[in-house]
């Protein structure tokens, strides 16, 4: 979804991924992103404002995370999902 105002360009989300995308209960996943042109970044649910290019999450259930990148000209969002399985995935 892109929300744009009259001049300039909203940020571009080049990638937003979870690694691993499938974790066992109580395990962590690394959310990573590459964004161009943003002045603020946030991840929902449960993370809030972020800086840099990654954050670790430990979801208790399967969760779809939404990255919102914003600047003075609008905002852009992208989603990634971390699936929580009952047993750790085999490698």
φ, ψ for residue 52, nearest 5 deg: 80, -150
Q: Looking at residue 45, what DSSP letter applies?
A: T
The predicted pLDDT at position 86 comes to: 81
Q: Looking at residue 31, what DSSP letter applies?
A: E
Q: Residues 47-88: pLDDT tens digits?
A: 999 999 999 999 999 999 999 999 999 999 999 999 999 865
φ, ψ for residue 32, nearest 5 deg: -125, 150
Q: Residues 4-52: pLDDT tens digits?
A: 545 789 999 999 999 999 999 999 999 999 999 999 999 999 999 999 9
Task: Count CB atoms within 10 A of the CB of residue 66.
Answer: 15
């Amino acid at each position: 979804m892109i929300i744009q105002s009259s001049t300039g360009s909203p940020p571009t989300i080049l990638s937003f991924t979870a690694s691993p995308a499938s974790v066992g209960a109580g395990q962590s996943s690394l959310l990573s992103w590459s964004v161009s042109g943003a002045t603020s970044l946030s991840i929902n649910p449960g993370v809030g404002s972020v800086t840099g290019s990654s954050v670790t999450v430990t979801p208790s259930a399967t969760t779809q995370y939404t990255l919102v990148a914003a600047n003075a000209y609008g905002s852009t969002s992208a989603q990634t999902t971390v699936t929580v399985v009952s047993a750790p995935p085999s490698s």
